[in-house]
Amino acid sequence: MNQRVVIDPITRIEGHLRIEVEVDENNVVQKAWSSSTLWRGLEVILKGRTPMDVGLLVQRICGVCTYSHYRCGTEAVENALGLKIPLNARYLRSLMQTSLFMHDHIVHFYHLHGLDWVDVVSALSADPVKASQLAHEYIHNPIATSDGELRAVQERVKGFVATGKLGPFANAYWGNKTYKFSPEQNLIALSHYLKALEVQRVAAEMLAIFGGKQPHPQSLVVGGVTSVRDMLSPARLQEWKQKHAIVQDFIERAYKADVIMAASAFGTEPSVLGGVAIKNFMCTNEFVIGDQEYIFQQGVIMNGDLSKVTDVNPDLIAEDVTHSWYSADKAQHPYDGTTIPNYTGLVERDTVYGKLPTLDGDNKYSWVKSPRYDGEPVEVGPLACLLVNYAKGNKVVVDAVNELLQVTGLPVAALFTTLGRTAARMVQTCIVAKHGLETFDALLSNMQSDEATYIEPQIDSSKEYVGHSMIEAPRGLLSHWIRIKGGLVENYQAVVPTTWNAGPVDANGKVGPYEASLVGLQLEDPTKPLEVIRVIHSFDPCMACAVHVMDYKGQSLGEFRID
Ligand code: NFE
Ligand code: MG
């Protein structure tokens, strides 16, 4: 008899995500449902507002990648108005994106995803001397891994345990057999987990230098970047570079080392790790290093065919809501997309926890829409970005991916697992950190002969405008779409990375990346579904971004029991 497993909420993410899976008598996942249970509301709020405020409003979509939406919204308006902003402004915006990626990916790997790989309780029985020696096997001169430092980490966490207050380490599935690290490996990673708390603060400060503050920076305006006198002073520029060096050092001597260590311990078995089931990938140009030059280039791969990369065609994007809590009679292109809520509730059924309201998989079951490209589901994110650029022969990416495969000894097929997705994010972070400095140098060089950072926009209220922008956010391809009429926003849609990955099944029965990647996964114990959480966390979910429609009346939309 198949059994239903319900996980709600999935923690260590932004926003509200519920996953349900059905397992057979061997605890192998047969079917999965991904749902956001949170209703928000920004696409609707934007209607009738001045396009000049779009960036500031849309960055409230999220508390994590606030800057991505700020920039994407601002650039959608610029695209609609036909505005070509100064190159210095593009460099500055790109450097803010560099800072965001360095911050976001570190926080994800250690604080959101790390405990899916690291058994904290096991680390307490490690031998710090042995662990220190081992740390040097994965990378030259690893960070925060002398035997004294490791012993101190152990004492600190033992202190938590002794008081019975595990704090951030409470309520996990410690002891699960799919934890593969030895006690010493767990201790190394735990030390980096704590160190990463300090380093992520420095990365956030990098973004604040060019953004005025973080989260929710405020230096972008339609037409460029303002308030530049302080941020472009030699002292400030130097400060950014110093902070960059601190964060890059951590990325190279901790993050990279830990992913290499994970590859050595976890292997490549998809039934344990979870596979990459939807082999369609898409990404866009990002990190400008010259007028038309980017570190990562746009493209689409379908059916895992790395021999063929096509250009992203914006006309082929549409959002389906057949199984989402919205009304629409067909899949809609975002220029004409609607956001009309239509909540249809849950259905009661038996689960491994007893009778519960559960997702109604045959009908509507999520606040996330289902974006499709040419009718197909697509995975977006760091893995997609690396695969597209690898397939295109982008040297920077080919070299970095080949280095990863060489040091881990893993085959290319290993990229198509949960660990591969997680490793791809690390490789992307290394590339962004290293080559972000090319953007920095390009800015300094361009400023020698060109001081412009802003061009004044003009809106003719007797005209209609339409435009969109695509950027690569930390979780993948982000696009914003706008229609302007009478000088005001007439329609607005955001198609967000987590929406691509987390959306429910579509009208044609095509399943999205989250749901597909869970099928075939074997759970050790369905009441402690660590394996499911590991797969889902590898996408770095952000439901706040994915839904962005808010219940401003504060109505209760359903009662969920939280286990
Ligand atoms: Ni809310 Fe986001 C990123 C965007 S989401 S974090 O990265 O855009 O999927
Ligand atoms: Mg949307």
Using the predicted structure, report yes or no on whether residue 555 has a pLDDT greater than 60: no
Counting ligand 1 atoms within 8 A of each CB, the residue from 43, 58, 65 with the most, and so the one to mutate, is: 65
Counting ligand 1 atoms within 8 A of each CB, the residue from 99, 282, 498 with the most, and so the one to mutate, is: 498
pLDDT of residue 274: 82
Burial zone of 1 (CB within 10 Å; 0-12 exposed, 13-18 middle, 19+ buried): exposed
Q: State the DSSP code for 9.
A: S
Q: Look up the ipTM and state it.
A: 0.95
Percentage with pLDDT > 70 across the chain: 97
Tokens of 131: 């662990």
Ligand nearest to the CA of 69: 1
Element (H, E) at 444: helix 418-447
For the ranges 3-12, 163-172, 206-215, the maximum mean pLDDT occurs at 206-215
- What's the 41 CA to ligand 2 centre distance in angstroms? 10
> Which residue from 497, 505, 557, 500 is spatially nearest to 323, judged by alpha carbons?
505
pLDDT of residue 286: 98
Q: Do you know the residue count of the chain?
A: 563
Do 322 and 507 form a contact (C-beta atoms < 8 A)?
Answer: yes
- What's the 64 CA to ligand 1 centre distance in angstroms? 7
- What's the 104 CA to ligand 1 centre distance in angstroms? 10
- What's the 375 CA to ligand 2 centre distance in angstroms? 17
Q: Over the stretch 284-298, which tens digit does the pLDDT of each residue have?
A: 999 999 999 999 999
Beta-strand ranges (E) seen in 260-373 are 281-283, 286-290, 293-296, 299-301, 317-320, 347-351, 354-358, 370-373
pTM score above 0.80: yes
Using the predicted structure, report yes or no on whether residue 421 has a pLDDT greater than 80: yes
Q: What would the mean pLDDT of 223-242 be, rounded to a whole number?
A: 94
pLDDT of residue 544: 86
- What's the 323 CA to ligand 2 centre distance in angstroms? 15
Q: Over the stretch 455-513, which tens digit does the pLDDT of each residue have?
A: 999 999 999 999 999 999 999 999 999 999 999 999 999 999 999 999 999 999 999 99
- What's the 197 CA to ligand 1 centre distance in angstroms? 21
> Which residue from 22, 20, 19 is spatially nearest to 10, judged by alpha carbons?
19
pLDDT of residue 273: 80
Pocket residues: Cβ below 6 A from ligand 1: 14, 62, 64-65, 68-69, 473-475, 478, 496-498, 542, 544-546
Burial zone of 123 (CB within 10 Å; 0-12 exposed, 13-18 middle, 19+ buried): buried
pLDDT of residue 359: 97
- What's the 5 CA to ligand 1 centre distance in angstroms? 27
Torsion 446-450-451-452 (CA) sign:
negative
Counting ligand 1 atoms within 8 A of each CB, the residue from 34, 68, 69 with the most, and so the one to mutate, is: 68
pLDDT of residue 552: 35
pLDDT of residue 560: 36
Q: What would the mean pLDDT of 376-382 be, rounded to a whole number?
A: 98
Ligand nearest to the CA of 59: 1
Ligand nearest to the CA of 539: 1
Ligand nearest to the CA of 492: 2
Percentage with pLDDT > 90 across the chain: 84
pLDDT of residue 553: 38
Nearest CA to ligand 1 atom 2: 65
Counting ligand 1 atoms within 8 A of each CB, the residue from 16, 471, 475 with the most, and so the one to mutate, is: 475
- DSSP, collapsed to helix, strand or coil, labels residue 292 as coil
